[in-house]
Structure 1
Amino acid sequence: MAVKGFARVIIVLTTISAAIMELIDTSIVNVALAQISGNLGATIEDTSWVITAYAIANVIIIPLTGFFARLFGRKNYYLYSIILFTIASYMCGNAGSLLSLIIWRFVQGVGGGALLSTSQAILFDAFEPEKRPMAAGMFGMGIVLGPTIGPTLGGIIVDNYSWPLIFDINIPFGIVAALLTLRFVPNDTEEQLAARKDVYIDYLGIIFLAVGIGSLQYVLERGEAEDWFQDTGIILLTAAAIFGLGSFIYRQLTVAQPLINLRVLKSQNLIASNILTFVLGFGLFGSVFIFPVLVQRILGYTPTDAGFGLVPGAIVAIFCMPIIGKTLQNGLSPIYYVVVGCICFILHGYTSSLADLNAGLEFFTMPQIFRGIGTACLTVPLINQAVIGINPKDLPSGIALTNMIRQLGGAFGIAVMNTYVAHRYIAHRTDLVSNLQESSPEMLERLAGYQANLGVQGFDPSSAQRLSYGILDSVVMKQSYLLSYLDGFKLISIFFLAAIPIMFLLKRQKMDKATMQKISEESH
Structure 2
Amino acid sequence: MSQLKRQLLILTVIAAAVMELIDTSIVNVALSHMSGNLGATLEDTSWVITSYAIANVIIIPITSFLTTKLGRRNYYIGSIIVFTVCSFMCGNAGNIWELVTFRFIQGLGGGALLSVSQAVMFELFPEEKRGVASALFGIGVFVGPTIGPTLGGVITENYSWPWIFYINIPLGIAAAVSCYFLLTEPKVKAAVSKVDWTGIFLLSAGIGTLQTVLERGQTEDWFATGYITAFTVIAIISLVAFVLWELKINNPVVNLRVLKSRTLSIAAVLTFVTGIGLFTSVFMTPVVAQRLLNFTPTETGLLLLPGAITAIFALMLSGTLLQKGLSPIVIIITGFALFMYFSWRMGQINFEVSSSQLSFLLIFRALGIALLTVPLTALAVSGLPAKDMPQGAALNNMMRQLGGSFGISIVNTYTARRTALHRVDLISHIAPGDPSFTQRFNGYVAYLQQKGFDISIAKQKAMALIETQVVKQSSMLSYLDAYMLIGLLFAATLPLLLLVKKPAQKRPAVVLSDH
Normalization by structure 1: what TM-score?
Answer: 0.87
Q: CA deviation at 1:22?
A: 2.1
Post-superposition CA distance 1:251-290 (Å, at most 9, x none) = 2222232222221222222212211111111111111111
1:174 counterpart letter in structure 2: G
Q: CA deviation at 1:39?
A: 5.8
Separation in structure 2 between the aligned mates of residue 390 and residue 445 of structure 1, nearest angstrom: 67
Mark the CA change 1:114 to 1:234 in structure 2 (over 3 Å): closer, same or farther: farther
Q: CA deviation at 1:44?
A: 6.6
Question: Is the partner of 1:175 in helix, strand or coil?
Answer: helix
When structure 1 is superposed on structure 2, of 53-62 and 479-488 the one drifting more is: 53-62
How many residues align? The count is 511
Post-superposition CA distance 1:75-125 (Å, at most 9, x none) = 443332122212222333345666654443232121012223333444455
User: Which residue in 1 is equivalent to 2:212?
Assistant: 218
- Match 1:423 to one of 393, 417, 421: 417
Question: Is the partner of 1:259 in helix, strand or coil?
Answer: coil
Separation in structure 2 between the aligned mates of residue 385 and residue 16 of structure 1, nearest angstrom: 26
CA contact (8 A) 2:343 2:483 kept: yes
When structure 1 is superposed on structure 2, of 409-418 and 101-110 the one drifting more is: 101-110
1:91 counterpart letter in structure 2: M
CA contact (8 A) 1:342 1:500 kept: yes
- Match 1:435 to one of 421, 429, 435: 429
Task: Indicate whether 1:209 and 2:207 are aligned.
Answer: no
User: Which residue in 1 is equivalent to 2:365?
Assistant: 371
Separation in structure 2 between the aligned mates of residue 39 and residue 481 of structure 1, nearest angstrom: 21
CA contact (8 A) 1:274 1:402 kept: yes
User: Which residue in 1 is equivalent to 2:282?
Assistant: 288
User: Which residue in 2 is equivalent to 1:502?
Assistant: 496
Separation in structure 1 between the aligned mates of residue 462 and residue 321 of structure 2, nearest angstrom: 61
Separation in structure 2 between the aligned mates of residue 275 and residue 116 of structure 1, nearest angstrom: 23
User: Which residue in 1 is equivalent to 2:106?
Assistant: 108
CA contact (8 A) 2:215 2:413 kept: no
Post-superposition CA distance 1:115-168 (Å, at most 9, x none) = 233334444555667766665555454554444543332222221113331211
Separation in structure 1 between the aligned mates of residue 40 and residue 395 of structure 2, nearest angstrom: 36
User: Which residue in 1 is equivalent to 2:161?
Assistant: 163
CA contact (8 A) 2:43 2:215 kept: no
Mark the CA change 1:91 to 1:316 in structure 2 (over 3 Å): closer, same or farther: same
- Match 1:270 to one of 259, 264, 273: 264
Separation in structure 2 between the aligned mates of residue 352 and residue 43 of structure 1, nearest angstrom: 24
Separation in structure 1 between the aligned mates of residue 171 and residue 471 of structure 2, nearest angstrom: 43
2:387 counterpart letter in structure 1: K
CA contact (8 A) 1:156 1:304 kept: yes
Residue pairs, 1:221-370, within 5 angstroms: 221-370=215-364
2:377 counterpart letter in structure 1: I
Post-superposition CA distance 1:459-510 (Å, at most 9, x none) = 1111111211221222222222222211111112111101211223445536
CA contact (8 A) 1:140 1:376 kept: no
Residue pairs, 1:25-64, within 5 angstroms: 25-33=23-31, 35-36=33-34, 50-64=48-62
Mark the CA change 1:358 to 1:17 in structure 2 (over 3 Å): closer, same or farther: same
Mark the CA change 1:424 to 1:261 in structure 2 (over 3 Å): closer, same or farther: same
User: Which residue in 2 is equivalent to 1:522?
Assistant: none
Separation in structure 1 between the aligned mates of residue 429 and residue 97 of structure 2, nearest angstrom: 47
Mark the CA change 1:129 to 1:452 in structure 2 (over 3 Å): closer, same or farther: farther
Question: Is the partner of 1:301 in helix, strand or coil?
Answer: coil
1:386 counterpart letter in structure 2: A
Separation in structure 2 between the aligned mates of residue 271 and residue 164 of structure 1, nearest angstrom: 41
Separation in structure 1 between the aligned mates of residue 351 and residue 103 of structure 2, nearest angstrom: 37
When structure 1 is superposed on structure 2, of 471-480 and 453-462 the one drifting more is: 471-480
Separation in structure 1 between the aligned mates of residue 49 and residue 35 of structure 2, nearest angstrom: 13
Q: CA deviation at 1:16?
A: 4.0
User: Which residue in 2 is equivalent to 1:384?
Assistant: 378
2:302 counterpart letter in structure 1: F
Q: CA deviation at 1:56?
A: 3.5
Q: CA deviation at 1:15?
A: 4.2
Q: CA deviation at 1:321?
A: 1.2
Question: Is the partner of 2:164 in helix, strand or coil?
Answer: helix
Mark the CA change 1:373 to 1:5 in structure 2 (over 3 Å): closer, same or farther: farther
User: Which residue in 1 is equivalent to 2:81?
Assistant: 83
2:317 counterpart letter in structure 1: I
CA RMSD of aligned residues (A): 3.1
Question: Is the partner of 1:486 in helix, strand or coil?
Answer: helix
Structure 2 segments unaligned to the other structure (5+ residues): none
Residue pairs, 1:381-420, within 5 angstroms: 381-420=375-414
2:86 counterpart letter in structure 1: A
User: Which residue in 1 is equivalent to 2:67?
Assistant: 69
Structure 1 segments unaligned to the other structure (5+ residues): 520-524
Mark the CA change 1:8 to 1:356 in structure 2 (over 3 Å): closer, same or farther: farther
Q: CA deviation at 1:215?
A: 1.9
2:432 counterpart letter in structure 1: E
Normalization by structure 2: what TM-score?
Answer: 0.89
2:16 counterpart letter in structure 1: A
Separation in structure 2 between the aligned mates of residue 364 and residue 287 of structure 1, nearest angstrom: 12
User: Which residue in 1 is equivalent to 2:91?
Assistant: 93
